[in-house]
Amino acid sequence: MAKAKKLPSGSWRCQVFSHWEHVNQQDGTISKKRIYKSFTCDISTDKGKRICENMAAAWAVDKENISHANLTLGEATDEYIEKRSAVLSPSTIREYKRSRRRDLRGLMDRNLHSITQVMIQNEINQEALNHSPKTVKNMHGLLSAVMGAYRPDFTIRTDLPKKVRPKIYVPSDGDVTALMDVVRDTPLEIPVLLAAFGPMRRGEICALDSNHVNGNIVHVEFSMALNDKNEWIIKRPKSFAGDRYIEFPDFVITKIKGKEGRITELLPSQISDHFAEIIKKAGIPHFRFHDLRHYSASIQHSLGIPDIYIMQRGGWGNDGVLKSVYRHAMEDQAATMNQKANNHFANLCNTKCNTT
């Protein structure tokens, strides 16, 4: 909020930016001049200062509301994305723009201030027919952010589709062993090693260069991502937790030694494409390259390593993903564990319960 200043006369004055004014220069160029709206109060005490600042704040709010009065939701979304292009990750900007083009089409051409909760709920209901709950949640998240920025007085209370438990396949030691046999001495060998025993993400592996490898320590400082122009760029991780140091075992570092520049020439999309072919060749159940991270986390957990260290090594900011991985891993072993428990109870009963 703009602060009022006291004038020599004893009055208070507060100035608020109004607009830009174009000024023709003598050399033929045009410069921009900032124009301010002034508010004054003749009461010389602190009360006058508060009154002056409140008048300025009220005018600024009205001005902003007026400037947004004729915007459609689509126009407001475009403006929202543009104003945050310098602070959001390239992949987030790409997904926002994709959502702007394809999602909530029944609302995008409507005036921002004419949209009601009923309209939003109806549109979300339609999107839920053809999209997963997570996708619907993402498009609603962007809508909520835009409405919050341009209609802060409007509270959205939308019923979203219920979350569906994701089907996560956690590779076993046998899967990883078979996979390593097939990728040995291929371009995919190093990415597999870094993902399974890091665990590093696909984009982090593609952005890794020799300058970030010191002995057995790998500094994960950058990631490769696709921007809104479909260009692969090097950027910093989305979260603070993503920037981390990982100590790898000797057999992994041996494969990296001697390399200069990028550790792999593959792009993230190429890793995924090649990996699908390798999985078939190895004759193991289908799973994603990203699931190698789940393998690493699951094995570390089974070894008794505390979650905080697993999160630090994998670059997770919270334990939500870890718990999901462990739950699926435990579900796969549920039959074995149940049988083990029942055998124990049966043995107990045979020795104790049947004693007369």
* pLDDT of amino acid 11: 92
Q: Which helix (H) or strand (E) holds 213?
A: strand 213-214
Q: What is the pTM of this model?
A: 0.67
The residue that leads in pLDDT, 89 or 146, is 146
Q: Which helix (H) or strand (E) holds 59?
A: helix 46-67
Domain range list for the chain: 5-67, 73-150, 173-332
Tens digits of residue pLDDT in 216-274: 999 999 999 998 888 999 998 878 888 999 999 999 999 998 899 999 999 999 999 99
- Encoded tokens for 46: 């602190």
Beta bridge partners of 41: 12
CB 248 within 8 A of CB 218: yes
How many other C-beta atoms can be found within 10 angstroms of the C-beta atom of residue 106? 14
CB 112 within 8 A of CB 72: yes
Query: Contacts for 69-75 with beta carbons within 8 Å, 24 or more apart?
Result: 69/113, 70/111, 71/111, 71/112, 71/150, 72/108, 72/109, 72/110, 72/111, 72/112, 73/104, 73/107, 73/108, 73/109, 73/110, 73/111, 73/112, 73/115, 73/143, 73/146, 74/100, 74/108, 74/109, 75/112
**CA–CA distance from 133 to each of 101, 102, 267, 348 (Å)?**
19, 16, 29, 46
* pLDDT of amino acid 243: 92
Tens digits of residue pLDDT in 12-30: 999 988 777 767 777 767 7
- Encoded tokens for 283: 């004759």
Phi, psi of 32 (to 5 degrees): -110, 135
* pLDDT of amino acid 300: 87
**Domain 73-150 fold:** DNA polymerase; domain 1 (1.10.150)
Tens digits of residue pLDDT in 119-133: 999 999 999 999 999
Quick one: 173-332 is in which CATH superfamily?
Answer: Intergrase catalytic core (1.10.443.10)
> Is it the case that residue 334 has pLDDT exceeding 90?
no
Tens digits of residue pLDDT in 67-119: 666 889 999 999 999 988 888 888 899 999 999 999 999 999 999 889 999 99
| Sequence-ordered alpha helix ranges (H) in 184-303 | 189-197, 202-207, 250-256, 268-282, 291-302
* pLDDT of amino acid 331: 55
Q: pLDDT-derived band of residue 34, with 50, 70 and 90 as boundaries?
A: confident
Distance of alpha carbon 48 from alpha carbon 342, whole angstroms: 80
CB 299 within 8 A of CB 278: no
* pLDDT of amino acid 236: 87
CB 197 within 8 A of CB 252: yes
Phi, psi of 39 (to 5 degrees): -130, 135
